[in-house]
Chain A
Amino acid sequence: MNKQLRTKRRKIALITAPILLLLSVFYGLSYGSVSISLSEIWTILTTDGQSAQDTIIMNLRLPRVLVGLLTGACLAAAGAILQGVMRNPLADPGIIGVSAGGGLAAVVTMVLLPQLSYLLPAAAFAGAFVSSIVIYLISWDKGTSPVKIVLAGVAVNALLGAIMNGIMVVYSDRVQSVLPWLSGGLNGRSWHHLSFMAPYALVGLGLTLLAIKPANLMLLGDDSAKLLGQKVELQRLLLILLSSLLAGAAVSAAGLIGFVGLVVPHAVRLLIGEDYRYLLPVSILGGAALVVFADTIARTWFDPIELPVGILLACVGAPFFLILLRKRSNWR
């Protein structure tokens, strides 16, 4: 990629990504068992009404689309940051223990303490956050390195996953409610869910602005970044915490949705390069658009069944990811 091509692609991406997001939002609002046209949506959004369509948009589709939007944005941002700070293009929120930690906390809440199920988002969030801190501490030995963090992450993920599976086997009669959550879905997401996740998500997305400079410097390697005056270890810890904040917000609202954090930033990087000033916003918009779009498909195409969006994303994401991997076999 030369400079002209890169500049052109950056411009196209910065224009296309918001348009795609807008399109997916309108697609999500208008399609379903009842189709609602764009002009009707506009009227509903801008005026108070009491019709059935009003209810569908305002109480069902809009909160669901917004939760999906924030979930996708958070996952993509977390993935983009982690791939930078770990210097590993295969990093995603899974490796810092967010999935396993959040998953275990959620399963414990749903299976062992069902009376506290209203705390589920908070528990998932806390689990995600705590496990990422534990992984960072385990990997610390007079400093840390991406490889150590990834190894500690694999070990902690395996342990937490085993505990989670153990609980599900022992209490197999109560697992029914857990499964959709584990496969990651937006079914029935309401204003309540949105109001829980939005503060974390918005704060996290805002803080990604601060991630741009350190992430760009880490691209040069730890030593070079230190020589340029960066406190690399501290920055890495803070950026991991930021990622777990972002991913924790997503997990608490939508369960375990994989591949968005991995595939979206990776694809964006191939298109427009690694500069975080462009990579981050385009990934965030792209991730949001992808989840909203995929959720609408998962909700409408398989009528009468509603597929959890996580399953759909994994089915599409996995082969796409393999193609990326083969194209980029020169990664080291």
Chain B
Amino acid sequence: MMNKAIDLKDIELEMGMFQLFDITTAIPEGKMTAIIGPNGSGKSTLLKIITKLLSADKGEVAIQGKEAGDYSRADYARTISMLPQAKDMLPELTVRELVAYGRSPHKRLFKQRLTEEDQKIIDWAMKTMSIRRHDDRMFHTLSGGEQQKARIAMALAQKTDIILLDEPTTFLDISHQLEVMGMLRKINQEHGITIVMVLHDLQQAAAYCDHLIAMKDGEIISTGTPQTVITSRFLRQVYEIEAKVSFDQNYPVIIPIPKNYEEDATMIIVTNTSHITKGNGDKLIERFDRIGKVEGMEGFLGLEVLLTQNTAEYDEVSVVTRWNSKDDFQAWTRSEAFRESHSHRKTPDYIISNKIVFQEVKIKRNPLPPVHAEAIAEAKAQ
């Protein structure tokens, strides 16, 4: 088993509408790991718990085998650094001053002056992110991509074994995205720094990372190498899309399958036909009118009551109900409302015979929705 940089056990958190359940996973040391999943699945929250910006209701976080709670804030900042989402307004600073902030966990309150070693580390961080030429530029005059590189350089200057990044490429153009990902890969390979990031781009996550953690609705759905995680099943489960997945080297090729509504859509038509003694058809219809509540049933699509009076011996009354599925119809026959309307009534003697026919049909064109009494009244009023 690989060495664990970060070990999470039974993490749970409830924060208003938002929840994390039973998060148990390990992040391998010296590798690139991406946390993927739809918006609101708890990825950023998990990063915040790992960095102690949030505390979980339950569970344990261990960093390099030591409980997170056993680290002092400053020790922690020398072990694990994080690039938050680029939301905070920064004060007016030069790029070098921003990167120098990364040294502060290593400075005492009384000895703040940067030593030669600090300067060397700042130089190294800026060189690694290729922003040396911006040394004296004001940070806010840089483009978005260059700003992001400067922010990453600040995290690098912290000289930690683990770097977390929350959506490091989200607001960047494609060339800066690839540049930043390439730099992170290089940092990871040349210095063995464990990199964990929240990513939205599945292709980049798969291409650059060794290990993926997929989350949905506050739970971990699957973990593993990109090839094992990114599958058709995964896309259906996590993103609710149908797609074919194949890998072209490291890059997953995701081809969405357009939904075929004609093939999918079927419905159940239940036709309850009664033969009635001549001239009494209206009575049965009146009776049906008193049975309410079917409109509220799940899967109910519509209802027609048909009266045929042109036969010789009897009137024919058909009650046709349409349902999404047979189960939906059966749920109706078992419902309180149905039983109530049928139980304490004897079958009236004007009914000669009665039969029920079920048909499962494909929908080629949807029937008109049921017409509601209010809608009719409204139409009349106008």
Contact = CB atoms under 8 A, between A and B. Distances in A.
A213 B100 CA distance: 13
The secondary structure that dominates the A interface is loop
Nearest to A229: B77
Given A213-B112, A220-B88, A227 B51 contact: yes
Contacts of A332: 89
Nearest to A221: B88
Interface in A220-275: 220-221, 223-224, 226-231, 273-275
A219 interface: yes
B52 to A, nearest CB: 7
B276 to A, nearest CB: 71
B73 A230 contact: yes
Interface stretch (B34-42, B101-109, B196-204): B101-109
B88 A228 contact: no
Contacts of B105: 228-229
A227 B74 contact: no
Q: Interface residue tally of chain A, by bracket?
A: 20 to 34
A226 B138 CA distance: 24
Interface in A27-75: none
B89 A223 contact: no
Contacts of B112: 212-213
A273 B97 CA distance: 13
Nearest to B48: A223
A227 B52 CA distance: 9
Contacts of A217: 101, 104
Interface string B72-112: 01111110011010001111101000000110110101001
Interface in B23-81: 51-53, 73-78, 81
A273 B91 contact: yes
B327 to A, nearest CB: 47
B138 A231 contact: no
A228 B76 contact: no
A224 B53 CA distance: 9
Interface residues of B, number: 30
Contact of B91 (A226, A228, A274): A274
Contact of A273 (B52, B92, B107, B158): B92
A221 B136 CA distance: 23
Contact of B101 (A220, A231, A273): A220
B104 A1 contact: no
Interface in B266-286: none
A226 B72 CA distance: 11
Given A213-B112, A229-B78, A224 B88 contact: yes
Contacts of B136: 3
B90 A228 contact: no
A332 B74 CA distance: 30
**Quick one: which of B75, B76, B101, B107 has the most chain A CB within 10 A?**
B101
B101 A226 contact: no
A229 B109 contact: no
B89 A226 contact: no
**Quick one: which of A224, A231, A275 has the most chain B CB within 10 A?**
A224
A305 interface: no
A231 B104 contact: no
**Quick one: which of B52, B75, B109 has the most chain A CB within 10 A?**
B109
B118 to A, nearest CB: 14
Contacts of A219: 90-91
Interface in A122-142: none
A50 B107 CA distance: 55
A228 B89 CA distance: 16
**Quick one: which of B81, B84, B104, B107 has the most chain A CB within 10 A?**
B104
Contacts of B138: 1-3
Nearest to B158: A228
A189 B91 CA distance: 40
Contact of A227 (B82, B90, B94, B141): B82
A11 to B, nearest CB: 16
B91 A3 contact: no
B104 A213 contact: yes
A170 interface: no
A318 to B, nearest CB: 27
Nearest to A227: B82
A141 to B, nearest CB: 13
A229 B76 contact: yes
Contact of B74 (A2, A223, A229): A229
Contacts of B76: 229
Contacts of A116: none
Contacts of B101: 217, 220, 228
Given A217-B104, A231-B73, A226 B52 contact: yes
A323 interface: no
B91 A223 contact: no
A208 to B, nearest CB: 13
Nearest to B106: A229
A229 B103 CA distance: 10
Given A3-B138, A273-B91, A228 B51 contact: no
A1 B81 contact: no
**Quick one: which of A223, A224, A227, A332 has the most chain B CB within 10 A?**
A227
Contacts of B74: 229
B92 A1 contact: yes
A224 B76 CA distance: 13
Interface string A203-220: 000000010110001011
Contacts of B51: 226-227
A5 B10 CA distance: 54
Given A3-B136, A221-B88, A223-B88, A213 B109 contact: yes
B91 A227 contact: no
Nearest to B52: A226
A230 B74 CA distance: 7
A224 B73 contact: no
Contacts of A6: 92
Nearest to B71: A229
Interface of B: 51-53, 73-78, 81-82, 84, 88-92, 94, 101-102, 104-105, 107, 109, 112, 136-138, 141, 158
Interface of A: 1-3, 6, 210, 212-213, 217, 219-221, 223-224, 226-231, 273-275, 332
Leading 9 A-B pairs by shortest Cβ distance: A229-B77, A229-B105, A229-B74, A221-B88, A274-B91, A219-B91, A228-B104, A3-B136, A229-B73
8 contacts: A3-B94, A6-B92, A212-B112, A220-B88, A227-B81, A227-B84, A229-B76, A229-B78
